[in-house]
Amino acid sequence: MGRLCSVFLILFLHVTLIASSCQGRKPKEQPAKKHRTAFFIFGDSFLDVGNNNFINTTTLDQANFWPYGETYFKFPTGRFSDGRLLPDFIAKYARLPLIPPFLQPGLHRYYNGVNFASAGAGALVETFQGDVIGLKTQLRYFKKVEKRLRRKLGNDEGKMTVSKAVYLFSIGSNDYMSPFLTNSSTLNTYTYSTFVGMVTGNLTSIIKEIYKRGGRKFAFINLPNLGCLPAMRVIESRNNGSCLEEASFLATMHNKVLKNLLSRLEKRLKGFKYSLFDLNTNLRQRMLHPSKYGFKDGEAACCGTGQFRGVYSCGGKRTVKEFELCESPTDYVFWDSFHLTERAYRQLADKMWSATNHSHDVGPFCVRKLFQIQ
């Protein structure tokens, strides 16, 4: 059934493409409708531009207070950084406006895309359940948007928007970190490989659902070395600041599975195109050799308290109230104990957008190509 639908959709799109290429011959006063390349964003706090401002959650999953947003926006937007995030830079390079959060009140214009990402979200329903918009719910919101697009733009143009759009994902970190951050028994219940299989299995279902609805162009970032995030290094005081090996191990495992599953999807799903950015390697290089990239500190956060400012207290509105704030976020890779500074995000976004293929940073497509191809 699903396959039949997809075949039909492909045939259908083919016909529309031919039809629209004829529209150039129409008289000037009736210019051909321009199909934009929309940008839809799914996942967690690396991409959330403010959805969690509008849900009933805790300040652990929110960043709508000072000093979040202090450099670029000059006010807290809900982004977990001093300034802009990856999707903000990608949108800029794609000549799109900033892509708004789905839950922003009064949002009606969807044709440039929408951001569904929610800080704390995972691929698994159980991950921080009740405090976040999990990936499954994000998909449900996307389906609403897709219906509204077809209603507003007409069936053909709505479908065209969906099929030409780029879909960006950052997901998994919270699934793997939550067992260490809460007292869940997940890691006693499942083997690591079963657990990784569940996370990537749920991600795969979401990708397939979007594909079924016409989505073809997907962009992913892999997971950072989770155990070496400032927050993870201070969880176990007996570790004295060393990386939390189990969390790093899960991230490494996930990244291998993700790489393979995308390559399999590309073979199985006709027209499926993707970009996988090696965020892990790129971030690791900046953590190890900060000065090579213009930073002064690659390990500690700009905002927080304790060793590496790893205690997640930036802004003083969470469990721990005291926090220090560095003078110049541009000197730091990490903004708070989990998230990056605008400067780090910008450098990573630049690579995602157009790194050359011999560097193995991003592939098979760079994100720029995804926006360009039809």
Ligand X SMILES: *[C@@H]1O[C@H](CO)[C@@H](O)[C@H](O)[C@H]1NC(C)=O
Q: How many CB atoms lie within 10 A of CB 330?
A: 18
Name the catalytic one among 173, 178, 339, 361.
339
**Axis crossing angle, helix 173-181 with helix 192-212, rounded to the nearest 10:** 140
- Contact by Cβ (8 Å): 243, 232: yes
What's the min distance (Å) between Cβ of 207 and ligand X? 11
Q: How far is CA 78 from the centre of its chain?
A: 15
Q: Judged by CB under 6 A, does residue 243 bind ligand X?
A: no
Active site includes 45? yes
Give the burial class of 207: count Cβ atoms within 10 A of its Cβ; 0-12 exposed, 13-18 middle, 19 or more buried: buried
| Of the residues 33, 107, 126, 144, which one makes contact with ligand X according to CB under 6 A | 126
- Contact by Cβ (8 Å): 284, 247: no
| Of the residues 125, 288, 320, 373, which one makes contact with ligand X according to CB under 6 A | 125
Active site includes 336? yes
What does the alpha-carbon distance between residue 47 and residue 80 come to, in Å, rounded to a whole number?
Answer: 9
Name the catalytic one among 6, 45, 178, 275.
45
Q: DSSP assignment of 298-353, as one string?
A: EEEESEEBSGGG-BS-TTS-SSS---EE-S-GGGEEESSSS-B-HHHHHHHHHHHH
The mark string for 193-212 relative to ligand X (x by CB under 6 A, - otherwise) is -----x--xx--x-------
Nearer to ligand X, 36 or 369 (CB): 369
What's the min distance (Å) between Cβ of 208 and ligand X? 10
The mark string for 221-240 relative to ligand X (x by CB under 6 A, - otherwise) is -------------------x
Both tokens of 310, joined, read 């790893």
Instruction: Scan residues 308-367 and list those touching ligand X (CB under 6 A).
Output: 356-357
Instruction: Read off φ and ψ for residue 305, nearest 5 degrees.
Output: -150, 170
Q: Judged by CB under 6 A, does residue 129 bind ligand X?
A: no
Using CB under 6 A as the binding criterion, the count of chain residues that bind ligand X stands at 14
Nearer to ligand X, 13 or 123 (CB): 123
Nearer to ligand X, 153 or 197 (CB): 197
What's the min distance (Å) between Cβ of 133 and ligand X? 14
Give the side-chain half-sphere CA count within 13 A for 327: 1
Nearer to ligand X, 110 or 195 (CB): 195
What's the min distance (Å) between Cβ of 204 and ligand X? 7
Q: List contacts with ligand X (CB under 6 A).
A: 56, 124-126, 182-183, 198, 201-202, 205, 240-241, 356-357
